[in-house]
């Protein structure tokens, strides 16, 4: 039987996110109009969010895209996490078009993955709170056609960051 409270909570959270997004957009427009930074008007902006249900049936909302508040050209890439409990693996997939493998830097602790990528045309930054603890030393990274895949074995300990290499 479907719990109606979960749906009500989902739509309340979605409404809050949409209101926050509109507020962020208004702040960004006011800030840009007050500043000399007008070149951002000549480049397209990308902003969005994805909604998925977690294992408890609750919504998980992830924002991605350009920052509306700062004139920075840094973008949060779209990413998603997949936990495979049967294999004790956590997979994170990033969409980072416009950069090459050598443009990407990754660091990981047992609970967080940090991505920085920079080319002439694109800048990406993401700090991802991992769904479960991982062992950073088991990371396997691959990059092809703008898609970066990072796979970890789960159940790691500690908060030290490890630099990761991409194959």
Report the distance separating Cα 164 and Cα 167, nearest Å. Answer: 10
Tokens 């949409």 belong to 18
pLDDT per position as a tens digit, 92-124: 999 999 999 999 999 999 999 999 999 988 899
Look at residue 30 in the predicted model and tell me its pLDDT: 82
Q: What is the DSSP letter of 40?
A: G
Helix (H, G, I), strand (E, B) or coil at 30: helix
pLDDT per position as a tens digit, 29-43: 887 777 665 555 555
> How do strand 123-129 and strand 104-108 relate by DSSP bridges?
unpaired
Report the distance separating Cα 147 and Cα 78, nearest Å. Answer: 10
136 pLDDT higher than 50: yes
CATH number of 73-167: 2.60.40.790
C-alpha 136: how far from chain center: 18
At residue 135's C-alpha, the angle toward residues 140 and 94, to 5°, is 45
Look at residue 69 in the predicted model and tell me its pLDDT: 46
Which is more confident, 8 or 91? Answer: 91
Q: What is the DSSP letter of 65?
A: E
pLDDT per position as a tens digit, 22-75: 998 888 888 777 766 555 555 566 667 777 777 777 777 777 766 554 456 788
Structure-token pair, residue 95: 């969409």
Quick count: other Cβ atoms within 10 Å of Cβ 7? 12
Tell me the Cα Rg of the chain.
18
Tokens 């980072």 belong to 96
Lowest mean pLDDT across 6-10, 110-114, 121-125, 129-133: 6-10
What ranges do the domains of the chain cover? Answer: 1-68, 73-167
Average pLDDT over residues 5-23: 87
Cβ–Cβ under 8 Å, residues 77 and 124: yes
């Amino acid at each position: 039987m479907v719990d109606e409270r979960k749906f009500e909570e989902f739509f309340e959270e979605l409404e809050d996110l949409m209101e926050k997004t509109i507020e962020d957009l208004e702040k960004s427009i006011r800030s840009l109009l007050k500043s000399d930074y007008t070149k951002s008007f000549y480049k397209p902006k990308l902003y969005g969010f994805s909604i998925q249900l977690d294992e408890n049936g609750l919504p998980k909302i992830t924002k991605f895209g350009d920052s509306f508040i700062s004139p920075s050209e840094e973008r949060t890439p779209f990413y998603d996490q997949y936990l495979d409990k049967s294999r004790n693996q956590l997979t994170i997939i990033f969409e980072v078009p416009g950069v090459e493998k050598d443009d990407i830097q990754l660091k990981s602790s047992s609970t967080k993955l940090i991505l920085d990528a920079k080319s002439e045309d694109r800048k990406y930054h993401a700090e991802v709170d991992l769904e479960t603890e991982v062992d950073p030393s088991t990371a396997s990274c691959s990059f092809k056609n703008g898609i970066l895949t990072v796979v970890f074995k789960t159940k790691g300990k500690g908060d030290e960051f490890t630099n990761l290499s991409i194959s």
